[in-house]
């Protein structure tokens, strides 16, 4: 009987882990990794909607914006030499403590976000 409880616990842990991974929002469009010196090519928005800048270790966006086709998002060097996320002329500091990657994600046609 005890082995049955162990198996049930293992299956529950696996299902919980899969569910947690599946709840990360959005579709990644462009990702910056601190492990590389190269910056990714900026992404030209093709769909109107909500876009978010996310650290790889979190579910909460650093910033969420409503963007239009033609707007550009990505990562670049700020005037102080640090790497920042950007949406056209606005810059956003990459502030997560444990993150090593950051991504701009498309969140859908509707959603939260400040109009750019």
Domain-embedded: residue 66: yes
Determine the pLDDT at residue 5: 53
For residue 95, the model assigns a pLDDT of 87
Number of domains forming the structure of the chain: 1
The pLDDT of residue 18? 40
In a domain, residue 78? The reply is: yes
Q: What does pLDDT average to in each consecutive run of 10 residues of the chain (116 residues)? A: 51 43 72 93 96 92 96 97 95 92 92 53
CB-side neighbour CA atoms (13 Å) of 35: 7
**Residue 85, in any domain of the structure:** yes
Of the candidates 24, 84, 32, 92, the residue with the CA atom closest to the CA atom of residue 58: 24
Expressed as residue numbers, the domain containing 64 is: 25-115
Residue 91 pairs in a beta bridge with 86
Q: Is residue 5 part of a domain?
A: no
d(CA 98, CA 58): 9
Whether the full predicted model's pTM is greater than 0.85, yes or no, is no
């Amino acid at each position: 009987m005890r082995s049955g409880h162990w198996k049930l616990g293992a299956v529950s842990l696996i299902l919980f882990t899969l569910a947690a991974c599946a709840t990360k929002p959005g579709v990644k469009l462009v990702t910056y990794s601190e492990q590389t010196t190269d910056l990714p090519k900026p992404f030209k928005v093709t769909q109107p909607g909500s876009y978010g800048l996310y650290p790889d270790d979190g579910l909460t966006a650093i910033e969420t914006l409503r963007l239009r086709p033609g707007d550009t998002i990505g990562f670049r060097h700020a005037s102080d030499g640090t790497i920042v996320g950007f949406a056209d002329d606005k810059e956003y500091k990459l502030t997560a403590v444990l993150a090593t990657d950051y991504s701009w994600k498309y969140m859908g046609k509707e959603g939260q976000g400040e109009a750019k």
